[in-house]
């Protein structure tokens, strides 16, 4: 049986789960509190992030822009994917991606937007990561080749989210798990 991959979480793995643990496997300066971890953490991480822009948080927007730009450059320099936190700031995220000529895959984490927004992200080569809070139509319409599954801070086992997504997409849960294992290989090239 496949294990269930959790592409972004704040909880250590349970039986049958493979997790990408925030602050252990991935490191970043979050827009809520953009403090940079030691550079050796970043250089050894599976991915850079969470990082990005959040227009609803208290951190001055200029500070967020500067921290995000710096992490885009680190992601490119180290050749690692970037885990994106984006709240009401997609225009600036897309602009910075172009300005920095970023080619690493970006993972739009905790995506709650509508299907139209997914199309914009796909045009830019992004992966769309869905959590327990999501738009149902977006789950149904996102191409499986660009879709990821994450629990983030939700304490429920990731298997429950796999069950829900599989049922919404009318696919077998094992098939969904196999697809997610492919996404994991594409993104993180495990040996």
- Cβ proximity to Zn ion, 41 vs 169, nearer residue: 41
The one segment of 53-61, 96-104, 115-123, 146-154 that binds Zn ion by CB under 5 A: 146-154
CA triple 117-9-177, angle to 5 deg: 75
- Rounded to a whole number of angstroms, the minimum distance from the CB of residue 66 to Zn ion is 21
- Cβ proximity to Zn ion, 119 vs 156, nearer residue: 156
DSSP 48: E
- What residue number has its CB nearest to Zn ion? 152
- Cβ proximity to Zn ion, 58 vs 62, nearer residue: 58
- 54 belongs to the binding site for Zn ion (CB under 5 A): no
Q: The tokens of 32 are what? A: 């809520």
Contacts of 117 (CB under 8 A, 6+ apart): 90, 111, 138
- Rounded to a whole number of angstroms, the minimum distance from the CB of residue 30 to Zn ion is 8
**Binding string, residues 95-134; x marks residues near Zn ion by CB under 5 A:** ----------------------------------------
- 152 belongs to the binding site for Zn ion (CB under 5 A): yes
The DSSP-derived string for 45-111 is: -SEEEEEEEETTSSS-HHHHHHHHHHHHHHHHHHT--EEEEEES-HHHHHHHHHHTT--S-EEETT-
- Cβ proximity to Zn ion, 160 vs 182, nearer residue: 160
Report the alpha-carbon distance of residue 85 to residue 89 in Å, rounded: 10
Q: The tokens of 114 are what? A: 């509508």
- 6 belongs to the binding site for Zn ion (CB under 5 A): no
Residues in contact with Zn ion by CB under 5 A are 152
């Amino acid at each position: 049986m496949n294990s269930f991959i959790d592409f972004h979480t704040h909880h250590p793995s349970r039986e049958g789960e493979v997790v990408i643990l925030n602050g252990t496997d991935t490191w970043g300066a979050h827009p809520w509190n953009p403090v940079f971890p030691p550079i050796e953490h970043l250089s050894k991480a599976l991915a850079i992030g969470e990082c990005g822009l959040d227009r609803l948080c208290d951190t001055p927007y200029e500070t967020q822009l500067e921290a995000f730009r710096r992490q885009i450059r680190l992601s490119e320099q180290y050749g690692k994917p970037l885990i994106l936190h984006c709240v009401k700031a997609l225009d600036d995220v897309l602009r910075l991606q172009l300005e920095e000529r970023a080619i690493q895959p970006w993972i739009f984490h905790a995506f709650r937007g509508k299907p139209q927004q997914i199309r914009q992200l796909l045009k830019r080569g992004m992966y769309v990561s869905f959590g327990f809070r999501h738009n149902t139509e977006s789950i149904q319409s996102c191409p499986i080749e660009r879709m990821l599954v994450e629990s983030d801070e939700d304490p429920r086992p990731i298997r429950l989210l796999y069950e829900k997504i599989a049922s919404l997409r009318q696919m077998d849960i094992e098939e969904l798990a196999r697809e997610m294992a492919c996404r994991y290989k594409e993104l993180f090239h495990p040996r």
